[in-house]
Amino acid sequence: MEQIRTKEKYQVRQIKQGEETSNIENGNYSPNTGSFFGENRLSSVKQVLQTNSKDIEQIIKDVNEVKRSLGM
């Protein structure tokens, strides 16, 4: 589970960095906003990543339960 959380944080960081680079290159940088990412977009990406993490976590639990029931 820690790997999934770490991956999620890494992906969000990569998206922010890519957006920052794109905005700087396009001249859209605004230091007053405190963020290169619109809050709605960041929230949406975060929600998707969290949902995926929860789905993966449930799949792992299910697989481990099946392994236990099969005596593996």
pLDDT tens digits for range 12-45: 888 877 776 665 555 555 544 445 556 677 778 8
Nearest to 43 by CA among 70, 16, 62: 16
Q: Quick check: helix, strand or coil at residue 28?
A: coil
Query: What is the Cα–Cα distance from 4 to 25, expressed in whole angstroms?
Result: 31
> Which pLDDT belongs to residue 39?
67
pLDDT tens digit sequence for 39-49: 677 778 888 88
| pLDDT of res. 52 | 84
Domain ranges of the chain: 2-70
Residue 46's pLDDT is: 81
69 backbone φψ class: left, alpha, beta (φ>0; ψ -120 to 50):
alpha
**The pTM of the whole model exceeds 0.85:** no
pLDDT of 57 over the 80 cut: yes
